[in-house]
Amino acid sequence: MRRRRQSGFTLIELIISITLVALLATSLLMAMRSGFLTFEKTTARLDLNRRVMSVEQILGRELSGAIPEMGLCATSSGNAARWPMFVGEPESLRLISSYSMEQGARGRPSILVFQVIRAPQGGVRLVVNESPWTGPASTIPFCLDGRLVAPPVNEKSFVLADKLMTCRFTYLERTENSNDLKVQPVWNRPDLPSGVHVQMIPLVPDSSRLPLMSVTATIRINKQVQGTYVDQ
């Protein structure tokens, strides 16, 4: 009898096939891993860029929403006197704004106190404390003899910008006889300035992320804080 020929794989062919499949699977997994890592880095970079843009927008809206109001201020004699609430210094600023981080532009006005403080990892950071504006008496904890009393930085403070080399406020004044703006390092006048400039310089420049830009906010309200109007 003639034996039938049986087709199949030899052991060597099977080992070679398994090795090729393993190599292909390893290459595919490495390519997928590289793609996932690239996706994570891109997502993280986009998140950082969105955060930088969000900080600039929030800061601009808070400053542009300044309200010309008088508030009660404690005095050294123990009494209370009325003072304008917009008080600006190079590293601190107090104002009443129609915009807050908690309620946006549709909530009630808030007392905002900006401070430039030292950061634990080096450099400085810009923080803001928000408190609801419920009337002139609500400003007493933040004012003494017309000067700013900065609240303590705690878990309720918002960190607007971190890892900065410098952060400084300057105030823009529009002259009566010219459209040019004069830069003032301090603002302790009864009326509001024409704008506020916040200069922020990163501690370590990073070319891989969107740089934190300085913010210039225009204050368009020209109401006299201490003036008397017909409808009052």
| Per-residue confidence band for 34, with pLDDT thresholds at 50, 70 and 90 | confident
Specify which residues 118 forms β-bridges with: 124
Q: Residues 119-165: pLDDT tens digits?
A: 888 889 999 999 998 888 888 888 888 787 888 888 888 888 888 88
Give the pLDDT confidence score for residue 4 in this predicted structure: 56
Q: Residues 154-166: pLDDT tens digits?
A: 888 888 888 888 9
How far apart CA 50 and CA 136 sit, in angstroms, is: 37
| Per-residue confidence band for 231, with pLDDT thresholds at 50, 70 and 90 | very low
| Per-residue confidence band for 171, with pLDDT thresholds at 50, 70 and 90 | very high
Give the pLDDT confidence score for residue 39 in this predicted structure: 65
Burial class (CB in 10 A: 0-12, 13-18, 19+), 19: exposed
In a domain, 47, yes or no: yes
Cα–Cα separations (whole angstroms), residue 115 to 13, 70, 106, 206: 74, 21, 25, 24
| Per-residue confidence band for 112, with pLDDT thresholds at 50, 70 and 90 | very high
Q: pLDDT over 90 for what percent of the chain?
A: 20
**C-alpha dihedral, 89 to 93 to 96 to 101, nearest 10°:** 160
Work out whether strand 124-132 and strand 158-174 pair parallel, antiparallel, or are unpaired: antiparallel
Q: Please check the confidence at residue 46 and state whether its pLDDT lies above 90.
A: no
In a domain, 28, yes or no: no
The pLDDT mean for the chain works out to 80
Residues spanned by the domain of 78: 43-218
In a domain, 32, yes or no: no
In a domain, 226, yes or no: no
Q: Give the number of domains in the chain.
A: 1
In a domain, 58, yes or no: yes
In a domain, 111, yes or no: yes
In a domain, 198, yes or no: yes
Q: Residues 198-216: pLDDT tens digits?
A: 998 888 766 555 566 788 8
In a domain, 38, yes or no: no
Give the pLDDT confidence score for residue 52 in this predicted structure: 59
